[in-house]
Homo-oligomer: A and B are copies of this chain.
Amino acid sequence: MTDSGKKRVVIENVKPQINCGQFPIKRAIGEKVKVQADIFSDGHDEVLAQILYKGPHTDTWQFSPLAFVGNDLWTGEFTVTRLGRYVFTVQGWVDHFRTWQKDLKKKHDAGQDIAVDLLIGKEYINKACTMATDDDRKHLERLSSELEASDISYAVLTALSTELIDLMDRYADLTSASYYERELVVVVDRKKAVFSSWYELFPRSCSPDAGTHGTFKDCEEVLPEIADMGFDVLYLPPIHPIGRTKRKGKNNNPVCEEGDVGSPWAIGAQEGGHKSVHPDLGTLEDFRRLIAQASEYGVEIAMDIAFQCSPDHPYVKEHPEWFQWRPDGTVQFAENPPKKYEDIIPIQFEGDGWLSLWDELKSVFLFWIDNGIRIFRVDNPHTKPFPFWEWVIHELKKDYPDLIFLAEAFTRPKVMYRLAKLGFTQSYTYFTWRNTKVEFTEYMKELVRTDVREYMRPNFWTNTPDILPEHLQYGGRPAYMMRLVLAATLSASYGMYGPAFELFVQDAIEGREEYLYSEKYEIKHWDRKREDSLKDFVAKLNRIRRENTALQDTWNVEFYNAENDYLMCYGKTSEDLSNIIIVAVNLDPYHTQGGWVHVPVDALEIPRGQPYLVHDLLTDDKFIWHGEKNFIQLDPQIVPAHIFSVRKRLKREMDFDYFM
């Protein structure tokens, strides 16, 4: 039992903490970890506590103080500054010297005899002297002698002095300190894990010539346009050879015709599998050049990882143990009965070859990492075992802490959260199916006001090759603009599938949220220069995001009351309030809507009784607002949203008003 009996301080309920410390929380470089804990001791003694934390590749603890808030709750924080895994825990101890000071003061104030108490204080100081440096010892000895002053009030002044406690703290006895029983982990990512703007593009549709298979080189030509729109991640669907057996025709036709290119997610053919590039796109060298070229434009290429095979994938012959075979000797294709996906064969993770399979799949990531990729968008991770993802992401990030993994899991909430907990850097969300003010507000509350904020970073997608949401089918250009503003301002990371987005493609398969003649099964020739393209609007939004740090955070959103169910209003601010953004969106794509919105002027530190300027960064319009309630009106046919930058009014001696 050693000295466990002397450890009187209790530390419990330490937060943030996910599944009792089983999973790390996530932060980006420069972000804070705000720690809280319940800390107390028996009796009435004074307690002190601090955070212990250490960054990657070091055994040296750093310390950050915890402050008592009330009701035995303590809070503190530290900032993470390096990529990789931090750990932190909490330490608390009974501070006998402070207890002595507190009691001495009370007794002295009550006029009690404190002669013996001063002697006790001298004992504490003498003990500190045995550990002190020469200088400190001399200093302590002098203060100790002052406790013998004939003027008791003077002795008490010395006893309670900052001078004395500062010295005593240097030699505080922590041998009976309690430690929280777990070391909690923080995974620290680069800033792009939090703030990123994604553009999804099929490279095979990039040819300037209609009907021609686009190449990586064609893709390079499109880079300036993507950069102009302000995106910093270009995500490409799988670039590997596509299977021929059971290849799907246009519009998901089970029968394919001559010239049909098939789905890029039917990975693998004679030409190779997950480590090869489709010959029609170019060579691996071409791909590497695309990566380098994109980098010049500040754009990072995100690779699609879809762990499934076409029937022609080399794995099927080389590693039959990784697949499920049927009694008739055929390999089991993908199905979700009664639906069949015969161009795709799922990998069998429960076979005896699972260990070699895990290694091979890890090597797929490493192959592309070696070729310069640092961002992976993972296709349907919820259909592969959770332990695999936990292992592979952890293993890869050991050597490459700058990796970003986006989980494309459109499934049940607890499954999505589990994937985020076990290591995915960003996650697809239900944003695409949230429509009303109540739905958005509730969903954002779930993401940013619960523990979810600690481990799941949402990435809001307006559309994907798989999903053309109903509101975009029927709401026209205003709906596209509205959804873009919502995605790009509610979440610090968002994405779109283009050019279908900026050209507001609305044709869906009847009664479904799927594109008619989807680009998944054919080459498209997009008219990127179309007059009514939304690309300038997209560019403006991304510029606003870059220029306003308040929009580079997801968890700072505050919803404001707007007296109209179609008007949604929310604010985002930088922590120091130097950047204040108020977004107002008309959720009705058909009609002009107006109403009063309530601005929390006190929280924004806008002086009551003083007007302030709201500057619409989308239209450059400026309005002077007064107090809490102000009126807005939005015509969706013009712009369905305001993104206001708030400027507080300054008073000058001359009573000459201007806006800072």
A interface, CB within 8 angstroms of B: 1, 4-8, 10, 12-13, 19-22, 38, 40, 42-44, 71-72, 94, 102-103, 106-107, 109-110, 112, 116, 119-120, 122-123, 176, 181, 326-328, 330, 335-338, 349-350, 354-355, 358, 382-388, 391, 412-415, 418
Contacts and interface: CB of A to CB of B under 8 A. Distances in A.
Given A6-B349, A415-B72, A116 B354 contact: no
Contact of A349 (B8, B328, B414): B8
6 contacts: A6-B354, A8-B350, A43-B382, A107-B338, A112-B337, A120-B327
A336 B44 contact: yes
A252 to B, nearest CB: 17
Contacts of A355: 1, 5
B5 A388 contact: yes
Contacts of A413: 71
B42 A414 contact: no
Oligomer copy total: 2
Nearest to A6: B350
Interface SS of chain A: mixed
Nearest to A17: B20
B71 A412 contact: yes
A217 to B, nearest CB: 38
A42 B176 contact: no
Contacts of A382: 42-43
Contacts of A354: 5-6
B71 A387 contact: no
Contact of A338 (B21, B112, B335): B112
A116 B338 contact: no
A603 to B, nearest CB: 28
B385 A8 contact: yes
A337 B106 contact: yes
A327 B116 CA distance: 7
| Residue from the set A5, A13, A42, A385 with the largest chain B CB neighbour count within 10 Å | A42
Given A72-B412, A110-B338, A385 B5 contact: yes
A116 B328 contact: yes
Given A22-B181, A336-B44, A327 B123 contact: yes
Contact of A414 (B40, B109, B112, B358): B40
Contacts of A72: 412, 414-415
Contacts of A330: 116
Given A44-B336, A119-B328, A19 B8 contact: no
A358 B119 contact: no
A152 to B, nearest CB: 15
A360 B453 CA distance: 50
Given A22-B181, A102-B337, 12 more contacts: A5-B355, A10-B386, A10-B418, A40-B415, A40-B418, A106-B337, A106-B338, A107-B337, A112-B337, A116-B328, A122-B327, A123-B327
Given A116-B326, A327-B123, A110 B337 contact: yes
A604 to B, nearest CB: 33
Given A42-B384, A110-B338, A384-B42, A358 B5 contact: yes
A71 B412 CA distance: 7
B107 A42 contact: no
Nearest to A18: B12
Nearest to A114: B337
A516 B19 CA distance: 53
B42 A12 contact: no
Given A20-B21, A181-B22, A328-B119, A5 B387 contact: yes
A6 B6 CA distance: 45
A244 to B, nearest CB: 23
Contacts of A418: 10, 12, 40
Contacts of A40: 412, 414-415, 418
A165 to B, nearest CB: 18
Contacts of A6: 349-350, 354, 385
A337 to B, nearest CB: 4
> What 3 A-B pairs have minimum CB-CB distances, sorted nearest first?
A110-B338, A20-B20, A106-B337
B43 A383 contact: yes
Contact of A42 (B43, B335, B338, B383): B383
| Residue from the set A107, A122, A387 with the largest chain B CB neighbour count within 10 Å | A387
| Residue from the set A40, A94, A391 with the largest chain B CB neighbour count within 10 Å | A40
Contacts of A109: 338
Contacts of A336: 44
A120 B43 contact: no
Contacts of A19: 12-13
Contacts of A94: 350
A7 B387 contact: yes
Contacts of A106: 337-338
A601 to B, nearest CB: 32
A116 B330 CA distance: 10
Contacts of A383: 42-44
A413 B13 CA distance: 14
Nearest to A119: B327
Contacts of A412: 40, 71-72
Contact of A387 (B4, B20, B112, B181): B4
Contacts of A415: 40, 42, 72
Contacts of A335: 103
A306 to B, nearest CB: 15
B386 A42 contact: yes
Contacts of A327: 116, 119-120, 122-123
